[in-house]
Chains A and B, each alone.
Chain A
């Protein structure tokens, strides 16, 4: 039992040691503003990684999150800023902030469901299907924005990314809310149990009556929505939708999931682990800059941390 608890809190212990080290090395680390900064900065990765966790538990992968983030937010923000003109009807349709958010979420959902459809309908490996989406969605973003950022989106939209509510940054509220919902899904619903069942043994799950295709569809759909929430956070924080937003975010989120102890072969993993993984990456990014470590070394250090986390995780699982 003790071992069980130790195993579960491994990444937490890692995070604790990291924080201890950083607070010894820099007196600026453990300050209120700095910690809020870290939490606000990781909220995008937390949202994406939580969706990614569900996908990886089904023993899949979603490489398209960064591009889906860029396209869904660019489209939503573009409509917020410019509206749509129906030339032939001589009418103009404007979008409110809420409307643009809905569009962004719907686009994220649609792209995610498309991933799920391709994967289940044509039995494509998720790696390939989402790799294709990574390229397509980035291309669509470039087509839509013509490669130029869409900026100055108004203060009410900016509030989502930069505002504070009850002493806590709005992005932190949003990511916390997202985490709680997904926690509820994985712990309390049949759908959540089915996700684990599929990752553990897809054939057994199928034989015991789980609608594997539907569950997978939905999981990729959720991942798409999470990416688009990340897109809303990034574009509102910058007050601008950048065509190259989210480039290589898939790697950061896979890293968070893996550091959090989720197995890439599926069936195992927790949402809390992933959140801790995302915090570790965020703290590491922040700490390396605080200590003014050379940008060349930063990449090496990050890679080493990922390796270390996975090695420890593997060892404890074998025991």
Chain B
């Protein structure tokens, strides 16, 4: 008897819960699933996506995938079952994230990729992408120009398991490797981390004290590298190049301390993705699969 009452009452509760969520449905819910919140750049991307969605009159919630496709998969399952209506998505992995997107698609939830792409044209509703490769081609051109196509340099890579790391590195080398007198004397990783970049460069400078330039896979590492050069008294001699467009680096470029960076536009990408979701709710279905957002080269004036 007791069991029956418990069972019935929980059924009734469930009924009310489902009813109440039905009445709430006038305001669609938008999920922002972000690869990581452990990096200021992605925090900006996530928060401006959520903000834009709220501005357009939707409820918005941020999910952190902690750079882990498995966590991302959990996030998708949770948000599908809790009735979200659209996903603004920054994938953790170009291949690994596809199955997650398809899960949402099967449940009838549109997915709008931001910044990073997935290797599929049929999974996401649209992809608003920052072109890391072309951006670093630009940085590479500036690099060759600034060094007058001659000199020794070292490269500091980001996380070696991250596809952005290699997109950037390949874009850069597609230009720079064409100049036989530009010689890369060492290539090391510093995991996109400022402290690690500083320590790695301190060691590299011991082996290669005569380098003319350093190319860094992101701006946090460029700042760490600059600090190492400064304390070695080499900051006037060695040219530093970064990527991302972090405020601190833009400041240092103005002061003539860092040569160039590729400025990415997380806010533009977030806004476009949110706008697309809005149009989707209003009935639009024909979205361009890939919309590249150009990377702007910031250089010394």
Contact of B194 among A41, A142, A238, A286 (CB under 8 A): A238
Whether A146 is near chain B, meaning CB under 8 Å from some CB there, is: yes
Residues of A within 8 A of B (CB): 26, 28-29, 31, 33-34, 37, 41, 142, 146-149, 151, 162, 234, 237-240, 242-245, 247, 285-286, 289-292, 295-296
Count contacts between A and B, CB distance < 8 Å: 83
How far, in angstroms, from A285 to B189 measured CA to CA in the complex? 12
- Tell me the nearest residue of chain B to A35, going by C-beta: B206
| Interface stretch of the complex, out of B2-10, B88-96, B196-204 | B196-204
Cross-chain pairs A/B with CB under 8 angstroms, 6 sampled: A146-B43, A147-B39, A151-B248, A238-B227, A242-B194, A292-B187
B206 touches A148 (CB 8 A): no
Question: Which residues of chain A come closer than 8 Å to B224, judged between CB atoms?
Answer: 238
Distance (whole angstroms) from the CB of A52 to the closest CB of chain B: 19
Residues of A contacting B220 in the complex (Cβ-Cβ under 8 angstroms): 149, 242
Known: A151-B248, A243-B40, A295-B188. A237 touches B206 (CB 8 A): no
Contact A31/B206 with A147-B37, A238-B195, A289-B200 known, Cβ cut-off 8 Å: yes
Judge whether A240 and B194 touch: CB under 8 Å.
yes
Q: What's the least CB distance linking B288 to chain A, in Å? A: 31
Interface of B is mostly: helix
Q: Is there an interface contact between B40 and A33, defined as CB atoms closer than 8 Å?
A: no
Q: How far apart are A39's CB and chain B's nearest CB, in angstroms?
A: 11
By the criterion CB–CB under 8 Å, are A28 and B157 in contact? no
Known: A37-B203, A291-B207. 7 other contacts (CB 8 A): A37-B202, A149-B220, A234-B195, A238-B227, A289-B203, A290-B207, A295-B160
CB of B43 within 8 A of CB of A237, answer no
Query: In the bound complex, how far is the Cα of B40 from the Cα of A230, in angstroms?
Result: 22
Report Cα–Cα, A31/B89, bound state, in Å: 49
- For A26, A33, A237, A244, the residue with the greatest tally of chain B CB atoms inside 10 Å of its CB is A244
- By a CB distance below 8 angstroms, the chain B residues around A292 are 185-188, 207
Chain A residues with CB under 8 Å of B204's CB are 289-290
Check if B203 sits within 8 Å of A34, measured CB to CB. yes
Does B38 make an interface contact (CB < 8 A)?
A: yes
Q: Give the chain B neighbours of A28 by CB distance below 8 A.
A: 206-207
Known contacts A238-B198, A289-B203; is A295 also within 8 Å of B157 by CB? yes
Bound complex: CA A222 to CA B248 (Å): 35
Shortest CB distance A233–B (Å): 10
B residues less than 8 Å from A286 (CB atoms):
203
Alpha-carbon separation in the docked complex, A291 to B185 (Å): 11
- Inter-chain CA distance A34–B160, complex, in Å, is 26
- A244/B248 in contact, CB under 8 A: no
Task: Determine if B82 is an interface residue (Cβ-Cβ < 8 Å).
Answer: no
B81 in the interface (beta carbon within 8 A): no
In the bound assembly, the distance between CA atoms of A151 and B194 in angstroms comes to 12
Q: Compute how far the CA of A34 lies from the CA of B198 in the bound complex, rounded to whole angstroms.
A: 14
Measured between beta carbons, the chain A residues less than 8 angstroms from B37 are 142, 147
Decide: B199 and A41 in contact? CB cutoff 8 A.
yes
List CB contacts (< 8 Å) of B177-232 with chain A: 185-189, 193-195, 198-200, 202-204, 206-207, 220, 223-224, 227, 231-232
For residue B185, which residues in chain A have a CB less than 8 angstroms away from its CB? 292
Q: B140-176 interface mask toward A, CB cutoff 8 Å, 1 = contact, 0 = none? A: 0000000000000000010010000000000000000
Cα(A317)–Cα(B203), bound, Å = 36
A237 B198 Cβ-Cβ under 8 A: yes
A243 → chain B closest CB, angstroms? 7
Find chain B residues with CB under 8 A from A37 CB: 199, 202-203, 206
Docked complex Cα distance between A245 and B195 (Å): 8
Task: Give the docked Cα–Cα distance between A216 and B187 (Å).
Answer: 45
Contact A237–B202 (Cβ < 8 Å): no
Q: Min CB distance, B104 to chain A, in Å?
A: 25
Q: Are A149 and B202 in contact (CB under 8 A)?
A: no
- How far apart sit A285 and B193, CA to CA, in the bound complex (Å)? 15
Q: How far is the CB of B99 from chain A (nearest CB, A)?
A: 26
Q: Give the residues in chain A near B39, CB-CB below 8 Å.
A: 147, 244
Q: Could you tell me if B203 and A242 are in contact, using CB atoms closer than 8 angstroms?
A: no
Residues of A within 8 A of B227 (CB): 162, 237-239
Task: Given A147-B39, A243-B38, A295-B188, answer yes or no on A237-B195 (Cβ-Cβ < 8 Å).
Answer: yes
Question: How far, in whole Å, are A244 and B220 apart by their CA atoms in the complex?
Answer: 11
B198 partner residues in chain A, CB cutoff 8 A: 237-238
Question: In the bound complex, what is the Cα–Cα distance between A244 and B223 (angstroms)?
Answer: 15
Q: What 1/0 flags go to B61-73 for Cβ under 8 Å of A?
A: 0000000000000
**Chain B residues, Cβ within 8 Å of A239:** 227
Whether A148 pairs with B203 at a CB distance below 8 angstroms is no
- The distance in angstroms between the C-alpha atoms of A234 and B202, with both chains bound, is 15
